[in-house]
Each structure stands twice: as structure tokens, then as C-alpha cells.
Structure 1
């Protein structure tokens, strides 16, 4: 697969990842943290704000990898 196609697919995947992740993280926060303290909210959003980076790094690593020679 060419680098150009991989970057296109990776871009679509990153946009989908961020959109879905933000929606799920917000829904979980609204449903579970309604009566929680400010410190709990801060910890939750700090953790979830950093957690999406792990799958994004994997997608970006795949996007920029050189094609295998045959």
C-alpha cells in the first residue's frame, strides 16, 4: 500500500477515533460523575484526555511506516 493511501486512511481513522472517543468519554462522565467531587472530575478528564494518545500513536506509526519491499 502506498504511503499516500496509508496517510489518507490514517487521517480518516484519527478523525473517527477522536470523535468517537470524545463522545464516549463525555457520555461516561455525564452518566457516572454527576455527583462526584471536583477532584474526581479533574482526575477523570486528565486521564481520559491523555488516554486517546495511545491508539493515535499506533495509527500514526502505521501511517508513516515505509512500505515493505517485495
Structure 2
């Protein structure tokens, strides 16, 4: 698959990832996290806000992979 197509697909998937992750994190934070103590709330908010970087980084790595020379 050419890099140009991978970037198009990856951009759409990255936008979907951010939207789905944000909505899921908000739902989880409103439901369960508010019942925890302040320190555990802080840890949960930091993790929910930062863990999307892992799948996003893998997706960006896939997008930036060079084309195969055929």
C-alpha cells in the first residue's frame, strides 16, 4: 500500500481514535472515577488523558513506514 493511502487511512483512524477515546474517557470518569479519593482521581485522569498516545503512536508509525520497492 502506498504511503499516501496509508496517511489518508491513518488520519481518519486517528481522528476516530481521539473522538472515541475522549467520549469513553468522559463516560468512565463521570461514572466511576468521581467515587474515588482525590489522589486516585488524579491518577485516573492522568492515565485516561495520556494512554491514547500508545495506539496513536503505533498508528502514526504505520502511516510513516516507507513504501516497499517492488
Taking structure 2 as the reference length, the TM-score comes to 0.89
The unaligned stretches of length 5 or more in structure 1 are none
Report the equivalent of 2:45. Answer: 45
Q: Which residue of structure 1 lines up, in the alignment, with residue 25 of structure 2?
A: 25
User: How many aligned positions are there?
Assistant: 70
Judge conservation of contact 2:10–2:63 (CA < 8 Å) in 1: yes
Q: Which structure 2 residues correspond to residues 1-70 of structure 1 after superposition, within 5 A?
A: 1-70=1-70
The ranges of structure 1 where at least 4 consecutive aligned residues each deviate by more than 3 angstroms after the TM superposition are none
Deviates more, 1:4-13 or 1:39-48: 39-48
Identify unmatched segments of 5+ residues in structure 2: none
Contact 2:34 2:41 in 1 (8 A): no
Distance (whole Å) between structure 2 residues aligned to residue 33 and residue 46 of structure 1:
12
Q: Offset of 1:36 from its aligned partner? A: 2.2
RMSD: 1.1
